[in-house]
Structure 1
Amino acid sequence: MTAVNRHASRGLPPLLVPLLAGGLVVLALGVYGRVHTPTGFAVGVAGFSAALPMKAWLTTGAFVLAIVQVVSALSMWGRLGITIPPGVHRWSGRLAFLLTIPVAFHCLYALGLQYDVPRVLAHSLLGCFFYGVFTAKMLALPRRDAPGWTLPLLGGLAFTGLVGLWLTSSFWFFTVIGIKV
């Protein structure tokens, strides 16, 4: 078997469960966000003046850590010519994800999935997409039989989703409302 055939045989079957689980997360978040009656009030904005500044700053922190993720991933894959310790990639990812949890909770619980304003619709859909891709990436991570493009693709999609979330939330907040804490 040639190298090309060997890599071709590692196609999508190992990714079926991670991709299905990610798709179910997207669907579950979207359905919950749509059928749940939003409460309209924030929960746990400790240290912030209101929910919007909390969400803007936590999302900005996750966005900065996502950039660290991309740089450290490029280093791990030998694309930078420098070595960044693997722990930097793991911990920046963990911290970025943790920063998104209170934001996502507030968005789903207090606001739900909204579709009246195009920016808000895009933001709602990107949130569902981000968590679905993140789920697929985490489930594909231990799969040694997955194609070599799996983690860069899923990581890139997660990064793209987070950038979209930041642009439709934090960037919008800082440019329209202003920089507030």
Structure 2
Amino acid sequence: MTAQQPHASASDVVKIGVPVAIGAAVAIAIGVYGRLHDPTGFSVNIAGFGSPLGPKTWLTTVAFVLALVQVGSALVMYGKVRVAAPPWIGTLHRWSGRLAVLAAVPVAVHCLYALGLQTTTPRVLMHSLLGTFFFGAFVTKMLLLTRRGLPGWLLPVVGGLVFAALVGLWLTSALWVFTTIGIPA
């Protein structure tokens, strides 16, 4: 005798499939734009920094640190860390996520405008692909947050994918700069 597996209804498929499809379309659109766009090779510099590399490196690091806050606050909210969840933990989670994306957007705009999607080295290719994936996964997560009745595992998995992509972006950009070029001013 086998246990009966619950079947996903058509509405469940739509509830999950549409946000995933939109997120995938965003990732593909960013990738296609980045590949077809004629890179300018330059972008606007921010006062106080010696080159665009400085603000990109630091903004990516800020996004990475805020992503760590996201994971920590999610673990507390989902009861995976045995501490009493303070009443402001949800607010911390939402705002750290918003600020992480706010820090990442100018970096992505600069990268797409000045550099495009590049494939010159394995690190650069991985960075480009992670960037497109990050924003597609982020859009998917934001759209899934508006849905009710989702499986309990879904948002943590999608959030984990967003986090993993951002960590990969930081490793292939800011950490690479810190360890090969030095700390940019």
Q: TM-score, normalised by structure 1?
A: 0.93
Work out the CA distance in 2 between the residues paired with 1:57 and 1:150: 31
Matched, 1:97 2:101: yes
- In the alignment, structure 1 residue 156 sits paired with structure 2 residue 139: no
For the Cα contact (< 8 Å) 2:45–2:51, is it kept in 1? no
Q: In 2, are the aligned partners of 1:11 and 1:147 still within 8 Å (CA)?
A: no
Give the superposition deviation at 1:65. Answer: 0.3
Q: Distance in 1 between matches of 2:156 and 2:47?
A: 35
Q: 1:63-120 CA deviation, whole Å, 9 max, x = no partner?
A: 0000000000011101112214211001100100000011000000000000111110
The letter of the residue matching 1:172 is W
Segment drifting more, 42-51 vs 13-22: 42-51
Q: Distance in 1 between matches of 2:20 and 2:28?
A: 12
Structure 1 residue 129 corresponds to structure 2 residue 129: no
Q: How does 1:1-181 map to 2 (within 5 A)?
A: 5=6, 9=9, 11-82=12-83, 83-84=85-86, 85-181=89-185
Instruction: Provide the C-alpha distance between the structure 1 equivalents of 2:101 and 2:49, rounded to a whole number of angstroms.
Output: 20
- Mark the runs of 5 or more structure 1 residues left unpaired by the alignment: none
* Greater CA drift, 137-146 or 79-88: 79-88
Structure 1 distance, partners of 2:36, 2:114, is 13
Deviations 1:37-77 (A, max 9, x none): 00111224243221111111100000000000000001110
Structure 2: distance between partners of 1:51 and 1:166: 16
Identity %: 58
Query: In structure 2, how many angstroms separate the alpha carbons of the residues matched to 1:154 and 1:177?
Result: 33
Q: Contact between 2:40 and 2:115, CA under 8 Å: does it hold in 1?
A: yes
Letter aligned with residue 101 of structure 1: V
Q: For residue 107 of structure 1, what is the amino acid of its counterpart?
A: C
- Please provide the CA RMSD for this pair: 1.9
What code does the residue aligned with 2:112 have? L
> What is the CA–CA distance in structure 1 between the aligned matches of 2:92 and 2:179, rounded to whole Å?
31
Q: Is the 8 A contact 2:57 2:184 kept in 1?
A: no
Query: For this pair of structures, how many residues does the alignment match?
Result: 179
- Per the alignment, do residues 46 and 101 of structure 1 end up closer, same or farther by CA in structure 2, a change over 3 Å counting? farther
Tell me by how many angstroms 1:5 deviates: 3.3
